Amino acid sequence: MTTQKLVMRSMRKNIKMYYLYFFAMIFSISLYFIFSTLQNDPTIVNMIRASMHFSTAFLVAGILLILITIVFTMYATSIFIRRRSQEIGLYQLIGLSKAWVARVLILEHIILGLGALLIGMLVGALLSRLFILLFMNLIGLETMIGLTFSSQAVIQTIAVFTCLIAVTSLQIILTVYRSTLLQLFQANNQNDYFVKRPRIISGILGLAGLSLIGFGYYVSTMIVDHADLLLFLMLLVLASTILGTFLVFHTTISWILYVFRKKQNGNLGLYNSLSVAPLMHRMKGHANSLTLITVLSAMTITMISLSYSLYYSTENDVRLEMPFDFAVENMQEEASIISSKLEEEQIEFEHFQLDAIRFYGAWVEQESNVDNRHRAFMLFSAEQMAQAGLDVETPQYGEAIYHNTRTSIEGMEISFPKYVQYASNDEVNRLIVSSFRLENVMNYRFHGEQLLVADETFHKMRESIQESEHSEYLTFDVFHLLDTEKSDAASDIFLTNVDSDQYITDFYSAYEGSRQTYGLLIFIAGILGFVFILSTGSILYFKQMTEAEQEKKHYRTLRQLGFQVNDIMKGIIRKQLFVYLIPLGIGLIHAAFALNVGSVLIVASMLTPIIISMAAYIVIYLMFTVVTIRYYRSIVTNAL
């Protein structure tokens, strides 16, 4: 038999084992292809040129994608070589050289890889248009783009693929040359191990694992308040939670299971025999991969939730900063031009004039060392705001409400009531600021901290504040569009009619800007997250597949002893829930704490986007559990 024939035959025989690996490879390749097609798309290339954010994001995502694909492929390769170690040993036993074996394995891999490359690029080419449309939709661009087949993307993908083949070939050569015949024959026959009775030290280590995670969580809650130590604290949190997670998988879980098992005193029962016992045996060997999976899951969930939250709350966040679509300060002439132009274009709108006072004063702080310099304040009348359509609370006479969207980040002390001191005609030159609202009452481009008072207070203060270089009376012209479909045209009218030197922007332009940024972010996070979850799910599945093969003999024995497939499956499902849900659960809790830290970035509530992202992750992840359980069922059914 020639080498080629042997290769083809063994591939046909192993097709069942390979097919998920094959699909996973096709998937990664097509995602990478889509990614590089996007990277080279003329529309996007223009966008990237315009923004540093975009080009950095694409670069980082590309590198991460390649890294994950390589790590995943190496992982899968090692599992598959191990599963075939007996076959490899057999070839060597009948006198074939190691070089021959390595050559055959590499040949198989290249054939498989080329197939995956071809199909992957084909699928990628077909889907890339869909992805570009999705991307354009996400960032709110409506330019139509034709299907451009990017040869640059092909070259890039082939380069990455060559890298992949080189790495796995090296891995195959190393494995074949390093392992002895004896190791090869025993690799699948790891039945000679037994659980070591844990000593006190493992109890201590088990507790240490839990405490490290707890410590990491505790420190993470302090990050927000100690922004100056940000990097150090973040590294501390990462290190202690990752180490803690590892210890939990390595020791804590087996220790808990051991205690549980000891309590059963030999009467373990079928279900526990199929879940607790094998888990205990394999937990230590699986600690590395389960830690990796947990950390990857936590990362993916955090990344997706955070970017989705940013994207989801874009409109809300921008609206909190810019309550009016258009606003100008002391520019009545421009305002009237704008309104006549808007009328010309038959765009319906509302126009209001708002009075305000800008004065210079200072926060009265309890502690004297706090920076107490004078700053600008803008005083608005709550009744006027309400007339202009804002939903505001009217403070009591003599009191003010402080409106700001940035306080939480800048670390200002938020304990109210506080006082603002200012120069005035009468003696009472302190204004009580009774409370704080996390929203602006005037678009953020205008200078001064925003205070809202009742109309009566407003007029009284207007009389009392000295008109001087320290204060001025202002008139704001604010516009609300009633017809948001023409917002683009309206936005143009507005921007062309105000002095561009003043950096005035409108709600729609600001919204489009952040939508593009966050749209890109969620798109890249989505692609990466997809590849991450696919890798983690596949790794778990491969591992369970191998385990199922190794335990086939157990299932045969159990069937012979008269246990029905369904009884056995109940035990196996219990085990699978452990294997899949423990990393998922710990990953979710990790992510929750990470998101708690990340929540300072976003003004609006993140609850909805976080729940949606987590639910999506859980659903995709559990699909792997279902596939695994189905694989086990076929093994058990055919065991007898």
Partner 1 sequence: MKNKKTPKTVLIAEGLRKSYGLKGNAQQVLKGIDLRVIEGEFVGIMGPSGSGKTTLLNTLATIDRSTDGQIFIKEHEISKMKDNQLSSIRRKHLGFIFQDYNLLDTLTVKENILLPISLTKISKNQAETEFHAIAEILDIKELANKYPAEISGGEKQRTSAARALIHSPSIVFADEPTGALDSKAASNLLENLHEINQERQVTIVMVTHDPLASSYCKRVIFLKDGRIFSELYRGEKTRESFFKDILDMQAVLGGGD
The count of residues in the chain is 640
120 by Cβ neighbours in 10 Å (0-12 / 13-18 / 19+) ranks as: buried
- Residue count at the site for partner 1 (CB under 8 A)? 29
Q: Residue 507 is encoded by which pair of tokens?
A: 């709600």
CB of 86 to partner 1, least distance (A): 18
Among 334, 350, 549, 567, indicate the residue that binds partner 1 (CB under 8 A): 567
Distance CA 537, CA 293 (A): 8
Of 195 and 577, which has the nearer Cβ to partner 1? Answer: 195
What number of other Cβ atoms are within 10 A of residue 632's Cβ? 23
| Residue given tokens 């004297």 in the structure block | 368
Of 554 and 574, which has the nearer Cβ to partner 1? Answer: 554
Among 98, 462, 552, 554, indicate the residue that binds partner 1 (CB under 8 A): 554
Of 573 and 604, which has the nearer Cβ to partner 1? Answer: 573
396 lies in the binding site for partner 1 (CB under 8 A): no
Among 180, 191, 502, 608, indicate the residue that binds partner 1 (CB under 8 A): 191
Q: Binding segment for partner 1 among 159-167, 245-253, 554-562, 579-587 (CB under 8 A)?
A: 554-562
Among 374, 430, 437, 556, indicate the residue that binds partner 1 (CB under 8 A): 556
Q: Are strands 375-381 and 449-453 parallel, antiparallel or unpaired?
A: parallel
564 lies in the binding site for partner 1 (CB under 8 A): yes
Q: CA-based angle 117:121:125, to the nearest 5?
A: 175
Of 51 and 86, which has the nearer Cβ to partner 1? Answer: 86
119 by Cβ neighbours in 10 Å (0-12 / 13-18 / 19+) ranks as: middle
92 lies in the binding site for partner 1 (CB under 8 A): no
CB of 255 to partner 1, least distance (A): 17
Of 183 and 557, which has the nearer Cβ to partner 1? Answer: 557
Sign of CA dihedral 308, 313, 317, 319: positive
Half-sphere exposure of 192 (CA within 13 A, CB side): 4
Give Cα 137 distance to the centre of its chain: 20
Among 23, 215, 530, 563, indicate the residue that binds partner 1 (CB under 8 A): 563
- The 251-280 site mask, x for binding partner 1 (CB under 8 A), equals --------------xxxxxx--x---xx-x
- Are the C-beta atoms of 576 and 544 separated by less than 8 Å? yes
CB of 556 to partner 1, least distance (A): 8
CB of 84 to partner 1, least distance (A): 22
Dihedral pair phi/psi, residue 380, rounded to 5°: -125, 155
Among 559, 593, 594, 598, indicate the residue that binds partner 1 (CB under 8 A): 559
Of 197 and 373, which has the nearer Cβ to partner 1? Answer: 197
CA-nearest of 358, 357, 339 to 349 is 339
Sign of CA dihedral 231, 234, 240, 246: negative
Distance CA 40, CA 156 (A): 10
Q: In Å, how far are 45, 417, 523 from 360, measured between CA atoms?
A: 47, 19, 45
Distance CA 4, CA 453 (A): 86
391-422 in b/e burial notation, b at 16+ Cβ within 10 A?
A: ebebbeebbbbbbbbebeeeebeeeeebebeb
Among 553, 585, 605, 608, indicate the residue that binds partner 1 (CB under 8 A): 553
Distance CA 436, CA 343 (A): 38
CB of 115 to partner 1, least distance (A): 35
CB of 269 to partner 1, least distance (A): 4
557 lies in the binding site for partner 1 (CB under 8 A): yes
Q: Residue 88 is encoded by which pair of tokens?
A: 């490899």
CB of 211 to partner 1, least distance (A): 30
Distance CA 624, CA 397 (A): 63
**Helix, strand or coil for residue 486?**
helix
Of 318 and 558, which has the nearer Cβ to partner 1? Answer: 558
- The 118-157 site mask, x for binding partner 1 (CB under 8 A), equals ----------------------------------------
CB of 273 to partner 1, least distance (A): 6
CB of 262 to partner 1, least distance (A): 9
Which positions from 281 through 340 interact with partner 1, judged by CB under 8 A?
Answer: 281
Of 198 and 209, which has the nearer Cβ to partner 1? Answer: 198
CB of 268 to partner 1, least distance (A): 5
Q: Binding segment for partner 1 among 491-499, 500-508, 521-529, 559-567 (CB under 8 A)?
A: 559-567
Of 22 and 563, which has the nearer Cβ to partner 1? Answer: 563
19 lies in the binding site for partner 1 (CB under 8 A): no
Q: Residue 269 is encoded by which pair of tokens?
A: 């029962």
Q: Map 308-358 to HEC letters.
A: HHHHHCHHHHHHHHCCCCEEEECCHHHHHHHHHHHHHCCCCEEEEEEEEEE
CB of 192 to partner 1, least distance (A): 5
Q: Binding segment for partner 1 among 60-68, 124-132, 493-501, 558-566 (CB under 8 A)?
A: 558-566
Of 23 and 185, which has the nearer Cβ to partner 1? Answer: 185
CB of 253 to partner 1, least distance (A): 15
CB of 284 to partner 1, least distance (A): 13
Of 172 and 569, which has the nearer Cβ to partner 1? Answer: 569
Among 353, 466, 560, 634, indicate the residue that binds partner 1 (CB under 8 A): 560
**Helix, strand or coil for residue 249?**
helix
Distance CA 44, CA 37 (A): 10
CB of 270 to partner 1, least distance (A): 4
CA-nearest of 401, 397, 475 to 440 is 401
Which positions from 192 through 251 interact with partner 1, judged by CB under 8 A?
Answer: 192-195
CB of 251 to partner 1, least distance (A): 19
Contacting residues toward partner 1, per CB under 8 A: 191-195, 265-270, 273, 277-278, 280-281, 553-554, 556-564, 567, 640
